[in-house]
Structure 1
Amino acid sequence: MSNTDSFIDEVTEEVQKDKLFGQLKRWGWVGGLAVLLLVGGAAYNEWRKANERQVAQEFGDQLIASLDGDDTTAALAGLKVDDAAQSAVLGHLSAAAALADGDTDAGIAALEGVQNNASVAAVYRELAAFKAALALPPETDSAEKISAFEAITGPFRPLAQEQKAMVMIQSGDTEGATDLLRTLLEAADATPGLQRRASEMIVALGADISDTDADDG
């Protein structure tokens, strides 16, 4: 390589270095800002998690104190919630306290409050609907009870179907109840315990586990 070529290469290299340093001087603050944002974001995330844990712990402590007090219903009514999950838990506990005190209307109202709160997770709302149907007074019309259990969906549907069958038995519709119980024996979402109870009820009603009339047909 000639001296001229070597000189040109050196000049070119120096020019590239100058351009690089110029770019760093001009845009280096962007990298610094990015690092600052990353560090700040991580710090904020850790602070947020710690704050959420503290809020959840404080709420849990307040719940325990309310449940250990003399007037659970009044103590729970005085609690404040910070999110939908806390609202759902408080609603279920308030309903349980009211029902334990014999105040069915207040208990059902608390459960309906959870059920109608769209911001609450579906499982809490479905459980509230099921518990509200269970809490209906004995004098409630059978058709109303059946309608309440029929409206329940999600993971509590098989249990609601079992309760519906029991209402049908109480109202004298043993044939309809037997047919419903047989469907639970084949339901994929029915637990083994539920299927065992369904079998026992079918036998107690004097019917066969399988629908022999349908088999003969």
Structure 2
Amino acid sequence: MITSTEINKEMKKLITIITLILTSITANAQEYTNQTKSITGIFQAEGKNKDEIFENINKWIALNYNSAQDVIQMNDKDGGNIIVKGINSITYKNNIKELYPNNKFIAETITNKFNHTIEVNIKENKYRIIYTLSDIIPPAEATQYSMEGQFDLIFDMIDFTGVKEDKIEVYNAYLDNLLKKGLMGKKKRQKMKDLSKPIFTDLTNSLEDNIKATMLSIKESVSTTSTSDW
């Protein structure tokens, strides 16, 4: 027979476990807000004061950018504000390959590069990261063939609140005109246009995953406590 003392011990154990779980969730809590071209993440850093967070994030910048001095635009320790400019590269599925699986000139993936800014605002035990895409970087061949305008349209399609139908229509009108000049028939042009939304949805999702992975990398750096004697 289970005694009241044993029941009390089990209850205390259960309460302790629940408390530890809730404390862990609170200590590592984060929330995201999506806007058209930016994602904001708010992170709790229990047990970390403002100076510790600031120093750890600066260390992260130094380790993740080739030249921290070149990318840091603001580094205000007193105000708790850091602004960094950089470039990120995104690779995602090229859905057009499904239409032409045997065409060796059509790649299975597409890679785009973007300029971005990362703004960090730091308070005691918490900080905010605002990651904003500034523009897309056209590849050299786009500049060579005066196709920068197409990449402006691509950048306009990106929307972290959801790809918009009116922007799809604008892009498809441009694409249809381009394919007509290449003497592509109406049915094939329509198939290409049907792929626009999936392609840009994949791009936007890949960008969002990349941005959140960057934020979580910063979070890990802030959370890490050195145990070294050095």
Q: Which has the larger radius of gyration?
A: 1
Query: Greater relative contact order (Cα 8 A, min sep 6): structure 1 or 2?
Result: 2
TM-score (norm: length of structure 2)? 0.28
Q: Which has the higher strand share?
A: 2
